[in-house]
A = this chain, B = another copy of it.
Amino acid sequence: MTTTTAVTLADATREVGVEIDRQFDRLLTVPDDPRADLYRAMRHAAIGGGKRLRPLLTFATANLFGVDRSCTARAATAIECIHVYSLVHDDLPAMDDDDLRRGKPTVHKAFDEATAILAGDCLHALAFELLTHPDTHPDPFVRCELVADLARASGPSGMAGGQMMDLRAASASFDIATVTRLQAMKTGALISCAVEAGAILGRLPVEGRTSLRGYARDLGLAFQIADDILDVEGDEAAVGKALHKDADAGKETFLSLLGLERAKEQAAMLVEQAIAHLHAFGAEADLLRQIARFVLERDR
């Protein structure tokens, strides 16, 4: 049973990874003009790396409602566009100043800062262009809802707002409530959006989304606690980026506030809670359950 389950998640991860790379490859054909480096920089950031956690969540959720896979692939790629753009901008010298990402030089190292800023901006715009195309969903109401949800999740009340709080974290002494809010915005909002997109594509009415939203919220927090633990216990080569940055910067994290043991317990409890939200679903939600468990076990 465990073996079958593990294979299923591994298969889904591989399939989704191939599909997202295929979408980016199609979207980002390098033009024969002075914008060539801009496209090369987007490809460098977007293709062939990452866990593709958010696309995987969109596929796993959309699958509950039998959504067409090519529609799901477009929506999932749009969300990954936003995730990738945020990594490119967060890695800039003025922000987190990182040289390594997904085991490769960051975009401003491989190219230059101006190209990195513009590559991020372009991936940001492409996300919305992708969602508005009729191939993403025949009903403009659905496309519009996807755009609204993604714009909210990535803006000042979501991801970018959370990053701003994170920049302030080094000079402030945030308590556990503030760190929870920061992380719910910085990483949670886009993870929730990835699940929500599957529900939107599946035309699940808003009042039916409570349990999936609960799942996404708990999963997002568990993911972030696991990330904090990886930052302390992880292996840089496996994770593919610089570690121990939060402690070095004097930022409060779940780990610094709870300690390692309680942080691990808290993450495990959140994963169980996330899975419990799926009680109304049968075996069709097994992939979502496996993703939740994977969040605890991952080494990158």
Contact = CB atoms under 8 A, between A and B. Distances in A.
Interface string A25-47: 00000000111011100100000
A132 interface: yes
Contacts of A42: 156
B121 A161 contact: no
- The count of identical subunits is 2
Interface string A153-164: 011101011011
A89 interface: yes
Contacts of A154: 121, 125
Given A115-B164, A140-B140, A155 B125 contact: yes
Interface residues of A, number: 55
A94 B133 CA distance: 33
A124 to B, nearest CB: 6
A258 interface: no
A189 to B, nearest CB: 11
Residue among A125, A129, A132 with the highest chain B CB neighbour number at 10 A = A125
Residue among A42, A86, A129, A165 with the highest chain B CB neighbour number at 10 A = A129
Contacts of A147: 128, 131-132, 144, 147
A200 to B, nearest CB: 12
A122 B38 contact: no
Given A126-B155, A128-B151, A132-B147, A34 B117 contact: no
A113 interface: yes
Contacts of A141: 140
Contact of A35 (B115, B143, B165): B165
A212 to B, nearest CB: 21
Interface in A162-219: 163-165, 167-169, 172, 174, 178, 182
A133 B143 CA distance: 13
A118 B89 CA distance: 8
A31 to B, nearest CB: 9
A112 B34 CA distance: 30
Contacts of A129: 148, 151-152, 155
Given A117-B89, A156-B125, A172-B34, A148 B133 contact: yes
A-B residue pairs, 4 tightest by C-beta: A125-B155, A94-B113, A132-B148, A129-B151
